[in-house]
Structure 1
Amino acid sequence: MSSFDYKLLAALTDVIELQSFELAAKKLFVSQSAISQRIKSLEEYIGQPVLIRSQPIELTAAGEQLVNHFKKVKQLENELAPVLSPDKPLKPLKVSLAVNADSIATWFIQAITPVLKNNRVELNLMIEHEERTLDKLRTGEAIGAVSVIEKPLKGYRSFRLGKMEYCLVANTHFKNKYFKKGVNTESLKMAPAISYDHKDDMHVRFIAKHFKLAASEYYCHSVRSSEAFVELAKQGVAYCLLPKLQIANELASGELINLLPDNELIETLYWHSWVLVKGINKSISQQIVKVGQQQLAS
């Protein structure tokens, strides 16, 4: 294989991002049949399919690697633009990062703020469960990710940030209503809990570990907002696992109560970034590691 035709890779990337051959064609100012032909030419060139033509449209393993490669090349081009053409108006550098909701709600915004203030950056924050953020690196959708997984993907490296400490909390009214005789198997079956979504197994793992209860044995709201977790717990309508860093004031004032101070959950977080990261992206990575290590427990 001599070299890639990047028009073909651009077509593949736009089809998967827009989930439409028609929209990809409009974006690239070509006909829909031209897009189809580019995908076909790419598949013939590498000798295997790159797309699964389903709903939604999915990438094959080979297609995933090609899109990842193309996005890295585009990232390098964006970083070189101000050096090669210093007199041209500087376009914002597009930066996509995959981060878990609890980090967003606690320390992450503080980490990236200085870089956003001092550089023209168009930020795309993809909020994912901390066990799934690396999927965004694997597909090339993000150039960096916060994860509980230490081992980096090929071409990436990881940095230990620190420990996120979680405790099971509720307000006084909720505790007296559901846990007057303590947190146990029977009381947990009656008390409403909260999880981030149906794929979030942090709460499930915690309850299973300490009380041998399966998820089907109690009921649990799904709320895709870490801040909403706090508010629902403060309003006394549910109990939940929350980062101690996020609710330090509520715990200190007694507005929220640690239901199981002897049984807390600790997740170690890691920052993953591309080995060849440079320029603004490198500054972002360095700032994330610095603030993460400052804010999270060692």
Structure 2
Amino acid sequence: MKPDPVNLSRLLPLDYKQLQALDVVVQEQNFERAARRLNLTQSAISQRIKLLEQSVAQPLLIRTSPPVPTELGQQLLGHYRQVSQLERELLPSLLLDAPRQPLKVSIAVNADSLATWFLPALAPLLTQYPIELNLLIEDETRTLERLRQGEAFAAVSTQPRALPGCHASPLGRMEYLLVCSPAFNHQYFGEGLTLESLHQAPGVAFDQRDDMHISYMSEYYALHAGSYPCHTVRSSEAFIALACAGAAYCLIPRLQIERELAAGTLMALPAPPLYRDLYWHRWVLERGIHWQISQAILQHGAACLLPFADAER
């Protein structure tokens, strides 16, 4: 039976030393390493987490190896990490003589955005401010989990609905084309894009959970995962390298292959394009550099990606 929801407002003020202990155990994936990091004994770490669990009357940590936070534990960690991030950004303005330390900013982003429009959006801010960027690479359907767990302050996702405590804004549409090299096309698709040829031609997917490639082939060609050859490569750039080398066909963002299409190194196959709607999710409590990052991402995304209404014209 699922535990009853806890009214967190009744628990305030939260004990942030206890929350810190929970956070470090989850980060270090071990009680002993967490104790060393906080210069405490292992029993002291355990006691702090037990007291926190007693205060919410629910378990917050599944004591496996490695330890895993429960659903409520993830919510508390998300809250603690947001507050910690805001404090790190606020501290220099409170202590004028404090050394200017790089601000750690974690963002969950999909590989295709990272390989095309995403980094140019951040480049001006990275040269202007002391930002230490931590990019968590996930499929665009799974990036929100990093935001939900408090590991990232923002995420690029295909999900339009915001998580509790977050905002979601539309970025635009990414257009994908099914492409290959002219030599690959001649070898496998000389008679057209048929079921017989697709059963022989090797494709390429990001990983075994790449639902984009799998769902595309299933929807348009009634091909199911495992019924056709498919490389697994966790790199958008490697997709292009394989396709240019004549080793595979692939779904790839048009933004990423404009030069190859213009040069004739790659060609678009006679297949329907695929569109993915992207949204920018971030904490409600954003200020300073975090706010500037969001504005830069939203503005650059709007300039590079297709507007939702115009994508299929």
Tell me the TM-score range normalised by the shorter chain. Answer: over 0.9
Name the CA distance, whole Å, in 2 between partners of 1:234 and 1:251: 11
Please list every run of 5 or more consecutive structure 1 residues that lacks an aligned counterpart in the other structure.
none
Instruction: In structure 2, give the amino acid aligned to 1:205.
Output: S
Q: Distance in 1 between matches of 2:87 and 2:178?
A: 47
Contact kept? 1:189, 1:218, Cα under 8 Å: yes
Question: 2:30·2:66 contact (CA, 8 Å) conserved in 1?
Answer: no
Q: Distance in 2 between matches of 1:132 and 1:260?
A: 30
Is residue 2:17 matched to residue 1:16? no
- Cα drift, residue 52 of structure 1: 1.2
Task: State the secondary structure of the residue aligned to 1:97.
Answer: strand
| CA deviation map 1:117-159 (0-9, x unaligned) | 0001111000110000110110000001101111111111111
Give 2:229's aligned amino acid: Y
Query: What residue number does 1:181 align with?
Result: 191
Q: Judge conservation of contact 2:177–2:252 (CA < 8 Å) in 1.
A: yes
Is residue 195 from structure 1 mapped to residue 205 from structure 2 by the alignment? yes
Deviation of 1:61 (Å): 0.7
The residue type paired with residue 188 of structure 1 is L
Q: CA–CA distance in 1 between the matches of 2:243 and 2:64? A: 41
**Within 5 A, what are the aligned runs for 1:22-33?**
22-33=32-43
User: Which segments of 5 or more consecutive residues in structure 2 lack a partner in the other structure?
Assistant: 1-10, 308-313
Which residue is 2:7 aligned to?
Answer: none
Corresponding residue of 1:223: 233
Q: Aligned match of 1:264 in 265, 270, 273?
A: 273
Select the residue among 132, 142, 147 that pairs with 1:137: 147
Query: What SS does structure 2 have at the residue aligned with 1:245?
Result: helix
CA RMSD of aligned residues (A): 1.0
| Aligned positions of 1:109-258 closer than 5 A | 109-258=119-268
Q: Which amino acid aligns with 1:156?
A: C
- CA drift of 1:80 comes to 1.0
TM-score of the superposed pair, with normalisation by structure 2: 0.93
AA aligned to 2:108 is A
2:301 aligned with 1:292, yes or no?
yes
Match of 2:246, SS? coil
Aligned length: 297
Distance in 1 between the 2:181 and 2:116 partners? 20
Paired residue type of 1:85: L
Give the alignment partner of residue 15 of structure 2, picking from 5, 26, 29. 5
Could you tell me how far 1:57 is from its partner in structure 2? 2.3
One-letter identity of the residue aligned with 2:254: K
User: TM-score, with normalisation over the residues of structure 1?
Assistant: 0.98
